[in-house]
Amino acid sequence: MHEIPGPRLAESRPIDHPLTIMSRSTVYQQDLAWIHHVGFGDFARGAGRELLQSLRRGGVRGETLIDLGCGSGIWAAMAERAGFRVVGVDRSAAMIALAKRKSPKSEFVRASLDEFPLPPCAVVTALGESFNYGAGTEAIDLRRLFARIARALRPGGRFVFDVIIHEGEPMNYRTWRVGPVWALLVDVKEDRRRRTLARHIITFRTVDGRIRRSEEQHAVQCFRRAEVARALRVSGFRFRVSRRYGRMPLAPRRLAFIATNPPRPARARR
């Protein structure tokens, strides 16, 4: 869930639709997943365009790409159209359902990112702070995950992801955004000692003439920049750090890591 800028409301209008209250949950359910897809897809499209250009320049094309935290499949569809065999992974059943419609030629699996058995591949991506959402109720073990990714990637393969880092101004705010048939309210509180963000999200969506109200509570883990870099080095990656994907800037306190699995040294002949 990316930081959401919230313009002030120009005028208020009375609600003239019946209201349905949906249950509270801790993962992207149907309405929040749909709102994220239709209202917040610009990041995936912008980052995806830049990433495809980078992969083409590096001669990486037509191979297997694993998209961890694939969301609604916007980036997966772009990669599939560019000739990659895409496997998307996400914990949200609602996101997986949207992704299958967005990129029907790709393969999508509902699984925890740290448990999915990674097949041999040329590219692994995790765009949109997927690792910060952790493994269910616990933080992801970056060293363990990165070591698994390194084993799955072919020599010279690419590993690209972005995360929310601990360093920087505290993130405590409320904001909102509205669309033609939806509204979203977000309350964010940070626990600096535990390095966590609590995102309380309320959505309103008009479906079949009724307004549905849903709530979700997301627990987000923040990583220190040094621990991410250390986990990459221990796994053998060469990498650079950026605050943008090409011309696509990241929100405050986000960093992109663009890593390469180095070619394995040739065995000496006896």
Q: Please state, in angstroms and as integers, the Cα–Cα distance from residue 164 to each residue in 133, 151, 197, 221, 256, following that order.
A: 10, 25, 10, 8, 9
| Mean pLDDT of the 89-116 span | 96
As a whole-number percent, the residues of the chain with pLDDT over 90 amount to: 83
Q: Which residue is it, tokens 């239709």?
A: 38
131 shares a domain with 256 = yes
172 shares a domain with 104 = no
**Is 10 or 146 the better-scoring residue by pLDDT?**
146
DSSP 18-75: -EEEEEEESS--HHHHHHHHHHS-HHHHHHHHHHHHHHHHTT--SSEEEEET-TTSHH
| Mean pLDDT of the 6-17 span | 38
Give per-residue pLDDT as tens, 203-240.
999 999 999 999 999 999 999 999 999 999 999 999 99
253 shares a domain with 212 = no
The least confident of 3-12, 63-72, 167-176 is 3-12
Give per-residue pLDDT as tens, 163-180.
999 999 999 999 999 999
How confident is residue 1, by pLDDT bands cut at 50, 70 and 90?
Answer: very low
89 shares a domain with 186 = no
Q: What is the pLDDT of residue 3?
A: 44
Residue 105 sits in a domain whose CATH number is 3.40.50.150
How confident is residue 267, by pLDDT bands cut at 50, 70 and 90?
Answer: low
184 shares a domain with 92 = no
- The average confidence (pLDDT) of the chain is 90
| Mean pLDDT of the 78-102 span | 98
179 shares a domain with 153 = no
Asked if pLDDT for residue 22 goes beyond 80, the answer is: no
| Contacts of 34 by beta carbon, 8 Å cutoff, 6+ apart | 94, 98, 182, 205
Q: Please state, in angstroms and as integers, the Cα–Cα distance from residue 211 to each residue in 19, 183, 269, following that order.
A: 5, 10, 71
125 shares a domain with 63 = yes
Asked if pLDDT for residue 10 goes beyond 50, the answer is: no
Asked if pLDDT for residue 13 goes beyond 70, the answer is: no
Q: What is the pTM of this model?
A: 0.89
Q: Tokens standing for 65?
A: 């790409």
How confident is residue 131, by pLDDT bands cut at 50, 70 and 90?
Answer: very high
5 assigned to some structural domain: no
**Is 136 or 139 the better-scoring residue by pLDDT?**
139
Q: Tokens standing for 100?
A: 């299958």
For the chain, what is the domain count? Answer: 2
Residue 204 sits in a domain whose CATH number is 2.20.25
Which residue stretches of the chain are H helix? Answer: 30-39, 42-57, 74-81, 93-102, 142-152, 225-234
**Are residues 145 and 117 in contact, defined by beta-carbon separation less than 8 angstroms?**
no
**Are residues 240 and 23 in contact, defined by beta-carbon separation less than 8 angstroms?**
no
